[in-house]
Amino acid sequence: MIRQSQFSPFSSFFQGMLDGVPIALGYFSVSFGFGITAVRAGLSVLTATVISLCNLTSAGQAAGVAIMAAGGSFLEMALTQLVINLRYGLMSLSLSQKLDESFHTPRRLLVSYGITDEIFAMASSKEGKLSPGYMYGLILIAAFCWTLGTYLGAVAGQMLPASLTSAMGLMLYAMFIAIIIPPARKSRSVMVVVITAALCGLLFHYSLPWVTSGFAIILSGVAAAAVGALVLPVNEEPEGEAA
């Protein structure tokens, strides 16, 4: 009755690793950009690598590094991570409905570490229930490449000439653009939200410069998402079968 769990733990682990390869390759390039950004912000190679290993999230880490560089408060750090990563809560909620019966609490505590946008997308598109072995394989290869990419990006950021690393400082932001523009082109409501958030970001930076970067991101992001939800609520269930 449960397709995933009919395989042995090892073969589902291997299947997870296999499904994780395209995610891991994407993560490698994004985290390379993060490593360069982190070193440019004044962090050490070790700090950048540890941040990637224990956070496994691109937008949250980029905002976190900006707060560390600006000497922001711990409260600002906590609130920023809460808002930026709130979406993982919904993804975790959705995935929790899809776990097979061998997922006891310690296994859930382990797998919680690795719920990202891409891993959520891959796991939720899988037919049938999810086994622990499959999730371990998927997360392990993705987290490994995320951490390795950060390390290599940070090392490169320290060794390459400044003219090159300053241009590479654009990589992470260019990837954010590559993430938000295609859906914004296809959906008018996403476009409205993206433009509202960008205008809020400009407003805070130039009109209210005393608002620190983390709070500016929180307020702009919450305001733009709330405008979208009020004016253009999503019709379909975002997580398909989850309801």
Partner 1 sequence: MSIVIYIAVMAGVTYLIRMIPFTAFRRQIKSRFFRSFLYYVPYAVLSAMTVPAIFYATGNMATAAVGTVVAVLLAYFDMPLIVVALAASAAAFLSGMIL
- We find the least distance from the C-beta atom of residue 156 to partner 1, in angstroms, to be 12
Site residues for partner 1, window 80-139 (CB under 8 A)? 81-90, 92-93, 95-96, 105, 108-109, 111-113, 115, 117
Q: Is 225 in the site for partner 1 (CB under 8 A)?
A: yes
Of the pair 4, 52, the CB lying nearest partner 1 is at: 52
Do residues 70 and 212 make contact, with C-beta atoms less than 8 angstroms apart?
Answer: yes
Cα–Cα dist 219/233, whole Å: 20
Q: Is 21 in the site for partner 1 (CB under 8 A)?
A: no
- We find the least distance from the C-beta atom of residue 17 to partner 1, in angstroms, to be 21
Question: Tell me, what DSSP letter sits at residue 44?
Answer: -
Stretch in the footprint of partner 1 (CB under 8 A) among 3-11, 126-134, 139-147, 170-178: 170-178
Stretch in the footprint of partner 1 (CB under 8 A) among 8-16, 137-145, 147-155, 187-195: 187-195
- We find the least distance from the C-beta atom of residue 221 to partner 1, in angstroms, to be 4
- We find the least distance from the C-beta atom of residue 36 to partner 1, in angstroms, to be 9
- We find the least distance from the C-beta atom of residue 58 to partner 1, in angstroms, to be 9
Nearest residue to 35 via CA among 201, 153, 130, 202: 153
Encoded one letter per residue, x for contact with partner 1 by CB under 8 A and - for no contact, window 51-70 reads: x--xxxx-xxxxxx-xxx--
Q: Which two tokens stand for residue 39?
A: 């070193």
- Which value, to the nearest 10 degrees, does the dihedral of the CA atoms of residues 46, 145, 123, 108 take? -40
**DSSP, residue by residue, 76-120:** HHHHHHHHHHHHHHHHHHHHHTTB-TT--HHHHHHHHTT--HHHH
Do residues 71 and 41 make contact, with C-beta atoms less than 8 angstroms apart?
Answer: no
Of the pair 50, 155, the CB lying nearest partner 1 is at: 50
